[in-house]
Structure 1
Amino acid sequence: MIGFVMRLRSRNHFSTRKNRTFLGAAQRRMDTKQRLAIIIAIFAVIYLATFARLVQYGLTDPIALASIGDSTTAVVSRPDIVDRNGQLLATDLRTMSLYAEPRRIIDADEAVEKLATVIPNLDWSDTHRKLRSGSAFQWLRRQLTPRQQSDILALGIPGIGFRPENRRFYPGGPTASHIIGHVNVDNQGLAGMERYIDQQGLADLRAAGLTGDVPLEPVKLSIDLRVQHIVRDVAARAMKDYQAEAAGAVILDMETGEILAMASVPDYDPNQPSRTLADGSVDKEYEKGWFNRISNATFEMGSTFKSFTLAMGLDAGKITVNSVVDASRPIRMGGFTIKDFKGRNRPLSILEVFQYSSNIGTAAVADMVGVEGHQEFLTRLGLLSKMETEMPGVATPTQPRAWKKINSVTISFGHGVATTPLQTAVAAASLINGGNLIAPTFLPRSRDEAQSIARRVVKEKTSADMRYLFNWNGTKGSGRHAQVAGFNVGGKTGTADKVINGRYASNINFNAFVAGFPMDKPRYIVLSIIDAPQTGENGGRTAASTAAPMIKDIIGRAGPLLGVQPQFGKDGSLILADY
């Protein structure tokens, strides 16, 4: 019995060991299969992820993969700028700019050498420094030509790429440069109406990323491109012919305040606002053309101010057009002697004071009104405060800190107060348009809109008298040099001694002429300036020989384009006929 039990236990033990050995081998085989399956799954996931990433790279625009920092924004669009007739003044062109990813550059020296064969005036040291910087992104050259882009692509330089940008293009070049202004390489407005557009919200839209390829409504200006070309051409030729430092002119619609043309020379090409010399330095003489002498500079406007002095006397009731003042002898005041350029040495009527441009007669009228009244009147006309208009960078007039009698006397004939030529034209318009001061604008404005902002500065009777004076001087006085047959031009010259280093130079003039036409029903004001002319018509250097002929040329060419129909005969009933 004991032996039987021992045999059963021995058999069970053997059976258990046999089962355990069998089960252990099976488990090991199963674990091996599981590990193998996990490894296969891991590699499958890796390969699938790699494949998906390659597909993504293949379908994505390569430009979006460049490491571009916050300083490089997306393609920025600007609205077109057009003139009052829809003629294009400024637009965007799509260009390509060259960038580098220095971390991917293999040989910086070789890259610079290759790029120099395509890009003119490449700064080798600066480009080499950028390529060796190890940074993620560096601009190398903005706004390439299509040919340059093609040639650089053919070089096959790794780590080099292109990014689309908008480049501002001005079809007229310098024709209206001081009005339109220009932009920087990032298409941001720096001057003129380009800067004004940014100030009206475009800069905010750009910051919000809303100025990509979205088409923007064109911005229409008040200027007439045809007339603008004439005004600039006349100013440029006058500066050359009269050997002057500068010249300019402006045409203003006195019923609406719209500026139809404005030019100041020397000027510049907004397509190339800066110019580099052969030695790599910036051409400072070229950059002087940025200076707009019509709205961004102040001058003593000379005898054109006599228009305001006589209007002041008329409006205050101190004189009439038939009044007579004593101009028989010079005035001595405060150590100064005030005399006439070509004195008549006799009493003069107000008509003659205006016709002969009498300093003595004008000073007498200012004395009748008084110092405080004189200052108040010029302030009322906007001649002593900064002008409000869309154009950025408008200059602020200068005047004496404290007005005394001697200041009032000299200011009466245009010395002692410096204001912008544009302000002078705007104030002159108010004298002959019925007495309403209308703020100037470079944007279209209707007559109804103009009337809603107009401010009466002189009486209608005063304005009628000033039209008479302007017309009289246009036919009897210095205005004859600006007269255009059939257009009935009236106006006033202004010849001022130029201030050089704080002193008046007796042999250097700043000349101006302010004119209205047609004087039977005035519509337009034209003002011309010429700075330091060396000669003029018939050898003269005064406004009558320089600034007035400019007005004649401008009106003769631009008048018909502005819709003014010339009239001939005393009653205007005769017209020219061509058979």
Structure 2
Amino acid sequence: MIRTPLRPLARILDARRKGENPDAIERENLRIRHEQMRDKARLRAEGRLLVMAVMFFCAFGVVGARMGTLAASEPMEPRAQATGASIIANRADIVDRKGRIMATNMETFSLYAHPQQMIDPERAATELVKIFPELDHDRLRKDFTGNRKFMWVRKKLSPEQKQSVHDIGEPGLLFGPREMRLYPNGALAAHILGGASFGREGVHSAEVIGTAGIEKFFDKELRDPAREGAPLQLSIDLTIQSAAERVLLGGMKLLNAKGAASVLMDVHTGEVISIASLPDFDPNDRPRPLTEGDASDSPLFNRAVQGVYELGSTFKIFASAQALELGLVNPGTVIDTSGPMKVGGFKIGEFNNKNYGPLSVSDIIVKSSNRGTGRMALSIGSKRQKEFLEDLGFFEPTPLEIVEAKGGQPLLPQKWTELSSVTISYGHGLSSSPLHLAAGYAAIANGGHYVAPTLLRQDGPRLGPRVMSERTAAQSLEMLRKVVTEGTASFGEVPGYHVGGKTGTADKPKRRGGGYYKDKVINTFASVFPTTDPKYVLIVTLDEPVETSGTKPRRTAGWTAVPVAAEMIRRVAPLLGLRPDVETRHLTGIINTSN
């Protein structure tokens, strides 16, 4: 912009020649400049006022149009514009397959203190210790009489405890409402549920979060307001779970076992009807994890899922099934099981140094011959054996919907040699969980399909990929039946239910230094019932059992795990809706006098 000087030199010189006052020129130029600036400011302000006027006009127009629309519309009852999900702040319930409560919420109160507002803090400390003996009186009195302005006293109170604290009459003791997770069945299905605790906490509310088990696996879903309080339904049947745990506990105590586990699974849907691990705990008062020693010594350890063991001769049916599938043998093929047999410089022996001689494939399973399955494994080959076991799920943790399942990673040999193939064929050299074994036996029972175990209620069969032919599965199932009727699992017979299965007795490995204990075993019985129309697989595993009713201690699975499994089937089969197949017999010596 070109600025015009207020005292232009040409005009000043001209004014002096004419005798005029040069200052008048400056005043006139200043007046003109001020008038120009005033005109520009007025125009700018008028423009702004015009824009604001248009905006107000539009706003009032919209409001007026909306008011007119509402006035012309029909009257209606007011409705909430948001769903009620935002109001649902509690955690969703967990129910069993029949809708019975396994985990729910209960309204309770927390207890906190404002020491600065207390009238008699020492008396308050004394009275609180009478109500809660686990509190430290000296520490409580020091906190109450110190400079603290706020402190938690108890996170959860029962109604009786709340009333007792209220009766103290101390204004500095206050209550905060909150919800807590309640497991009304106590320790029943504890390892499935896991437990919950408080997350973010405030005076008037607390966030309930899952800490283990299915509570943690489905933590987001259980806290999702969009569920609108819909419960999470599991495949577990509480009645069957209770019966299984009761039988398992009785067997564990009777056989002096350190621990025990069981898995009952539907062979067509993969639903886990019951899964138990002992010793257990109460999720309402979940114990702290061990900070030293062996994790399996803790009641929190889930032996059915996290426990990976060498499951012994229960693996022999997989070796024979693969040999049948490949056409290398048939059930009647005779294999010489005589010794000696050496593989990789190691001698392969039989239980109690037996020498069975020539045996059919079926008899190898019935008599549980190590050499017989070892020779079948050599004919199969390491590569094909690995592929078959991988198809059966023995290379990865089971996909069960609890966080602990990830810890059940099978232990595989670093190098899969011929010796590894032989020992794995009879259950040594590969460690897996009882749940892995249940899935493997389910493939035999359902006609040859792998089915993934699940804790969620299913609407129907969900068979996975085929891992063996239906013919192979049927032949293997017939062998498992013979093990009960003629072989090492004779105590497993349950009249009317046609049980088939395979025993497994595995020496327990030492924690340090390698090698195995001579007098400690892990026994397993893997069973299918009824073999006439297979519906369920039951796995029972006992840690360090010993049967002492005879003159000598007996530690084999036939004397320990098998009777426990048989009693369990006897209890749960009717609860599963299975009718016993009772054979009718001709009654002799009875004369029909009706004619």
Question: Is the pair's TM-score, using the shorter chain for normalization, greater than 0.5?
Answer: yes
Distance 1:250 1:472, change over 3 A: same
Deviation string 1:22-41 (CA, Å, 9 cap, x unpaired) is: xxxxxxxxxxxxxxxxxxxx
Report what 1:371 is aligned to. Answer: 382
Report what 1:140 is aligned to. Answer: 153
Deviation string 1:430-450 (CA, Å, 9 cap, x unpaired) is: 0221111111111111224x1
Report what 1:540 is aligned to. Answer: 554
* Partners of 2:122 and 2:145 within 8 A in 1: no
* Partners of 2:111 and 2:154 within 8 A in 1: yes
State the 1:569 CA deviation: 2.5
Matched residues in 2 for 1:338 and 1:142: separation?
Answer: 60
Matched residues in 1 for 2:297 and 2:175: separation?
Answer: 30
* Partners of 1:537 and 1:546 within 8 A in 2: no
Matched residues in 2 for 1:183 and 1:287: separation?
Answer: 22
Distance 1:378 1:286, change over 3 A: closer
Q: Classify the secondary structure of the residue corresponding to 1:260.
A: strand
- Whether 1:428 aligns to 2:428 is no
Report what 2:491 is aligned to. Answer: 481
* Partners of 2:499 and 2:528 within 8 A in 1: yes
From 463, 472, 476, the equivalent of 1:466 is: 476
Matched residues in 1 for 2:109 and 2:421: separation?
Answer: 60
The amino acid across from 1:216 in the alignment is G
Report what 1:317 is aligned to. Answer: 327
Q: Classify the secondary structure of the residue corresponding to 2:188.
A: helix
Q: Classify the secondary structure of the residue corresponding to 2:374.
A: helix
From 197, 211, 217, the equivalent of 1:190 is: 211
Q: Classify the secondary structure of the residue corresponding to 1:166.
A: strand
Matched residues in 2 for 1:537 and 1:257: separation?
Answer: 38
- Whether 1:354 aligns to 2:375 is no
State the 1:124 CA deviation: 3.0
Report what 1:4 is aligned to. Answer: none
Q: Classify the secondary structure of the residue corresponding to 2:541.
A: strand
Deviation string 1:95-138 (CA, Å, 9 cap, x unpaired) is: 11101234434554343223222222112354345546645532
- Whether 1:81 aligns to 2:94 is yes
Query: Any gaps of 5 or more consecutive residues in structure 1?
Result: 1-73, 572-579
Distance 1:333 1:570, change over 3 A: farther
* Partners of 1:275 and 1:286 within 8 A in 2: no
- Whether 1:393 aligns to 2:393 is no
Matched residues in 1 for 2:92 and 2:343: separation?
Answer: 58
* Partners of 1:536 and 1:546 within 8 A in 2: no
1:249-398, aligned counterparts within 5 Å?
249-274=262-287, 288-342=298-352, 343-394=354-405, 395-398=408-411
Matched residues in 2 for 1:166 and 1:483: separation?
Answer: 49
* Partners of 2:264 and 2:273 within 8 A in 1: yes
From 569, 588, 592, the equivalent of 1:555 is: 569
Deviation string 1:356-380 (CA, Å, 9 cap, x unpaired) is: 1000000000000111111111111
* Partners of 2:521 and 2:543 within 8 A in 1: yes
* Partners of 2:319 and 2:376 within 8 A in 1: yes
* Partners of 2:122 and 2:141 within 8 A in 1: yes
Matched residues in 1 for 2:297 and 2:154: separation?
Answer: 22
Matched residues in 2 for 1:171 and 1:265: separation?
Answer: 19
From 207, 221, 226, the equivalent of 1:201 is: 221
Report what 1:57 is aligned to. Answer: none
State the 1:321 CA deviation: 0.8
Matched residues in 1 for 2:295 and 2:389: separation?
Answer: 36
* Partners of 1:304 and 1:413 within 8 A in 2: yes
* Partners of 2:105 and 2:182 within 8 A in 1: yes
1:112-127, aligned counterparts within 5 Å?
112-127=125-140
Distance 1:150 1:374, change over 3 A: same
* Partners of 1:231 and 1:250 within 8 A in 2: no
Deviation string 1:529-558 (CA, Å, 9 cap, x unpaired) is: 001012266552100001100111011111
Q: Classify the secondary structure of the residue corresponding to 1:233.
A: helix
State the 1:185 CA deviation: 4.3
From 236, 239, 242, the equivalent of 1:223 is: 236
Distance 1:570 1:413, change over 3 A: farther
- Whether 1:90 aligns to 2:103 is yes
Distance 1:75 1:536, change over 3 A: farther
Q: Classify the secondary structure of the residue corresponding to 1:496.
A: strand
Distance 1:309 1:116, change over 3 A: same
Report what 1:31 is aligned to. Answer: none
Report what 2:578 is aligned to. Answer: 564
* Partners of 1:330 and 1:360 within 8 A in 2: no
Report what 2:56 is aligned to. Answer: none
The amino acid across from 1:525 in the alignment is V
The amino acid across from 1:351 in the alignment is S
State the 1:151 CA deviation: 1.7
The amino acid across from 1:338 in the alignment is I
Report what 1:158 is aligned to. Answer: 171
* Partners of 2:88 and 2:229 within 8 A in 1: no
The amino acid across from 1:505 in the alignment is Y
* Partners of 2:120 and 2:170 within 8 A in 1: no
* Partners of 2:377 and 2:421 within 8 A in 1: yes
The amino acid across from 1:563 in the alignment is G
Matched residues in 1 for 2:355 and 2:565: separation?
Answer: 27
Deviation string 1:230-280 (CA, Å, 9 cap, x unpaired) is: 11011111111001101121110001000001111111111221289xxxx
Distance 1:286 1:496, change over 3 A: closer
| Identity within the alignment, % | 36
State the 1:336 CA deviation: 2.0
* Partners of 2:546 and 2:560 within 8 A in 1: no
Q: Classify the secondary structure of the residue corresponding to 1:184.
A: strand
Matched residues in 2 for 1:287 and 1:75: separation?
Answer: 40
1:447-462, aligned counterparts within 5 Å?
447-448=460-461, 450-451=462-463, 454-462=464-472
* Partners of 1:76 and 1:166 within 8 A in 2: no
Deviation string 1:491-527 (CA, Å, 9 cap, x unpaired) is: 0000001111321112211000000011011010001
From 252, 265, 268, the equivalent of 1:239 is: 252
Matched residues in 2 for 1:137 and 1:256: separation?
Answer: 54
Q: Classify the secondary structure of the residue corresponding to 1:367.
A: helix
Q: CA RMSD in A?
A: 2.6
Report what 2:183 is aligned to. Answer: 170
Greater displacement, 361-370 / 81-90: 81-90
- Whether 1:521 aligns to 2:511 is no
TM-score relative to the length of structure 2: 0.77
From 494, 504, 507, the equivalent of 1:494 is: 504
What is the aligned length?
A: 483
Matched residues in 2 for 1:146 and 1:461: separation?
Answer: 63
* Partners of 2:344 and 2:418 within 8 A in 1: no
Report what 1:19 is aligned to. Answer: none
Distance 1:253 1:103, change over 3 A: same
* Partners of 1:273 and 1:287 within 8 A in 2: no
1:99-118, aligned counterparts within 5 Å?
99-105=112-118, 108-118=121-131
Q: Classify the secondary structure of the residue corresponding to 1:329.
A: coil
Matched residues in 2 for 1:286 and 1:375: separation?
Answer: 28
